[in-house]
Amino acid sequence: MSEAILRVLETTTYQRYRGERSAFVAAWLGLEPELVRHALTQLAAAGVIRDTGNGYAVVGTLSVDTRSRPDGLRHIRQHWLAVLAERAELPHPEDWSGYNVISVSAADLAFVKERLQSLYRELRARVAASEPPEEVALVLLQLTHWATPEAPGEVPLQRVS
């Protein structure tokens, strides 16, 4: 949850808050205060945040390269999917979700994938330019493709044009 904690630290609301900071972050994200205190200690030790005397401030921008560990991105995805599944049990009024289980042509599936990738790039650009930081959210776009199976020793299924 360190990524979500960092996003809270960036907000103007957190920066103006004068009470117990880790409890505030914990309440915002629905986390245990001890988990937040531990994460803040670890983030400070790593130099990702610094203690300002009134709380914490994020130091620069953080970019995590998961390519060095083939399973790194898988674990991160699993974490955020679990967060989303937990939130689905008690949604916030501002939450939005949608799903659509589809059967489409190969060309239309390629179109759906391209549009999701394009939307993801547009969202990242908008988020990067957004000021002031006031809200914290999780955006998850995912396409799960169940590819046509091929049984061992059988001729692959032919697609009808």
Give the DSSP letter string of 70-91.
Answer: TTHHHHHHHHHHHHHHHHHHS-
Domain total in the chain = 3
Helices (H), 11-154: 12-16, 21-29, 33-45, 72-89, 106-129
pLDDT score at 66: 61
Q: What is the CATH number of the domain that holds 9?
A: 1.10.10.10
Examine the domain organization and report whether 14 and 58 are in the same domain.
yes
> Does residue 127 form part of some domain?
yes
DSSP helix/strand/coil, 56: strand
User: Do 75 and 19 fall into the same domain?
Assistant: no
pLDDT at position 74 is 85
Do residues 104 and 89 both lie within one domain? Answer: no
Q: In terms of Cα–Cα distance, which of 41, 76, 55 is closest to 12?
A: 55
Q: What is the pLDDT of residue 156?
A: 60
Residues 74 and 104 in one domain: no
The per-residue pLDDT for 63 is 60
Residues 107 and 70 in one domain: no
**Does residue 5 contact residue 37 with C-beta atoms inside 8 Å?**
no
pLDDT confidence of residue 150: 79
Domain contains 157 = no
Any domain includes 152? no
Same structural domain, 84 and 131? no
Per the domain annotation, does 159 fall within a domain?
no
**Does one domain contain both 59 and 1?**
yes
Q: Is residue 20 part of a domain?
A: yes
Span 68-100, pLDDT tens digits: 676 778 888 898 899 999 989 988 899 998 989
Q: Is 31 left (phi over 0), alpha (psi -120 to 50) or beta?
A: beta
Residue 73 pLDDT: 81
Structural domain boundaries enclosing 83: 65-97
**pLDDT reported for residue 136:** 95
Write out the H or E segment, with its range, that includes residue 6: helix 2-10
In 3D space, the residue among 62, 59, 57 whose CA is nearest the CA of residue 3 turns out to be 62
Residues of the chain with pLDDT under 50: none
